């Protein structure tokens, strides 16, 4: 059985997600993400993001502004 994977542009790697998240924390709060969140918190946030349909930058901006 052959399956063809459809490219999904909404999928973002965890490392890229953390990079965007850290950048947004740095710009908004003055410190990187690890000054505010633990590794477990970031993992949970990434897992939550994967169930959303919004782009990563929108999701992250909303999260950081309401943190």
pLDDT digits (tens, 9 = 90+) for 30-67: 999 999 999 999 999 999 999 999 999 999 999 999 99
Whether 55 and 24 have beta carbons less than 8 Å apart is answered as no
60 phi and psi angles, rounded to 5 deg: -70, -45
pTM here? Answer: 0.81
Where residue 30 falls (left for φ over 0; alpha for ψ -120 to 50; beta otherwise) is left
pLDDT at 1 over 70: no
Q: What is the pLDDT of residue 11?
A: 74
Q: What is the pLDDT of residue 22?
A: 97
Domain segments of the chain as ranges: 14-65
51 vs 15: CA distance, rounded Å: 17
Q: Supply the Cα-derived Rg of the chain in whole angstroms.
A: 14
* H helix or E strand, kind and range, residue 8: none
pLDDT at 24 over 90: yes
């Amino acid at each position: 059985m052959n399956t063809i994977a459809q490219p999904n542009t909404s999928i973002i790697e965890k490392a890229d997600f953390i990079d965007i998240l850290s950048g947004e924390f740095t710009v908004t709060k003055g410190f990187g993400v690890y000054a505010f969140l633990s590794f477990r918190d970031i993992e949970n946030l990434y897992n939550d993001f994967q169930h959303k349909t919004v782009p990563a930058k929108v999701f992250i901006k909303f999260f950081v502004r309401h943190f």
